[in-house]
Structure 1
Amino acid sequence: MDPVEVFNALPAARLERDLLACCAAPAWGAAVIAGRPYDSRAGILAAADAASRALRWDEVRQGLEAHPRIGERAAGDSPEAAWSRREQSAAARSADETTRAALIEANRAYEERFGHVFLIFASGRTQEEILAAARERLGNDEATERAVVADQLRRIALLRLEQVLDAL
């Protein structure tokens, strides 16, 4: 069976669970589910992209709650924990102790400044690249950073949705 057909046929409760693993903002998953049936993979991804862009800041914050601090190993055996470990794997392999310590400090400073975890699309990035981005983003004002965070969450959700579709 075609993955799009499977996606369209999944019971809403099962699909909601899968989508919440991609993005923990319930409004995002509800919007994607509400768009069924889709005629193509591209249609699913376009709807998910639009749903991400429509999230209010409080909904983005809900999505952030499922993400561990960058550089920390996600605990548990949930799909989102496994994805997080995989997404950060290149960074974990690339860092020395000095960079790890600097990233811990950057995380602390970021959380103190903005009140939430530093979120970045980490797939394929080294810890040095992530550290540089964290330091750069510490200079953002609140509105600019909220837009960056929302975009990073969108990119992560779409990557994870692609993985859900690949597994169907």
Structure 2
Amino acid sequence: MNSIKLNTLTETQAKQALTHCCAAPNWVAGMLKALPFKNKQQMFECAQNVWENLSEPDYLAAFEGHPQIGDLSTLGKKYAATAQKASHEQAGMSQANEQTLQTMIALNKQYLTKFGFIFIVCASGKTAEQMLSLIEQRINNTRMTELHIAADEQAKITKIRLEALL
């Protein structure tokens, strides 16, 4: 039994669905080229393989598809297409106290200035305090180290979003 919703969509619909999973155009193109998928394992393996063969501009394009962690006000504006997903993924931040939110916002700005891209973390299941701790640790990394960590986190986020297409 094939339970992959993605296989039943038109190319336009599939492109839109995949873009909601990961905003990197070259990743979306690679996934579209691989359709149809026999099973979810093949879909996940393809997603990972395509991702691993991309480069920094692709990673940065993917990161652009996310609101900043803790910046809940942008979810409904700039990221309307993925706001529901992102707000669910960032549920831990919605329960944060004001000090944690303010610290997170300040560190997000510092992180963006230092690395040139937003802080990416697979936030599902993490509390605000855990995410704050992660940004505090990661802000001391080199740009190259952080790019690789962020890319790995993006791959986790993409897999979670792909699961919704089953």
User: Same fold by TM (over 0.5)?
Assistant: yes
Mapped to 2, the partners of 1:27 and 1:113 lie a distance apart of 26
Structure 2 residue aligned with 1:3: 3
2:39 aligned with 1:40, yes or no? yes
Residue 86 (str. 1) matches residue 88 (str. 2): yes
1:45–1:79 CA distance, 2 compared to 1 (3 A): farther
User: Runs of 5+ in structure 1 lacking a partner?
Assistant: none
Secondary structure at the aligned position of 2:82 is classed as helix
TM-score, normalised relative to structure 1: 0.91
**Aligned-CA RMSD value:** 1.6
Cα distance between partner residues in 1 of 2:16 and 2:6? 13
1:23-66 Cα distance to aligned partner (Å, 9 max, x none): 00011111111112221111111101111222211011111111
Identity %: 29
For structure 2, the 5+ residue unaligned runs are none
Corresponding residue for 1:18?
A: 17
Alignment of 1:69-108 (within 5 A): 69-73=68-72, 74-76=75-77, 78-93=80-95, 95-108=96-109
Cα distance, 1:78 vs structure 2? 4.3
* CA positional deviation for 1:83: 0.3
Q: Which residue of 1 aligns with 2:158?
A: 157
> 1:149 Cα shift?
0.9
- CA shift, 1:10, in A, is 2.1
Mapped partners of 1:9, 1:120: distance in 2: 31
Please identify runs of 4+ aligned residues in structure 1 that moved more than 3 A: 76-79
Q: 2 CA distance for matches of 1:71 and 1:85? A: 10
SS at match of 1:102: helix
What is the CA–CA distance in structure 1 between the aligned matches of 2:138 and 2:59, rounded to whole Å?
Answer: 17
Q: Is the 8 A contact 2:3 2:39 kept in 1?
A: no
Matched residue of 1:164: which SS?
A: coil
| Aligned residue type for 2:138 | R
Q: Normalising by the residue count of structure 2, what TM-score does the alignment of the two structures yield? A: 0.92
1:135 aligns with 2:140: no
The CA deviation at 1:135 is 0.9
Q: CA deviation at 1:3?
A: 2.1
What is the Cα deviation at residue 91 of structure 1?
A: 2.6
1:2 Cα deviation from its structure 2 partner: 3.5
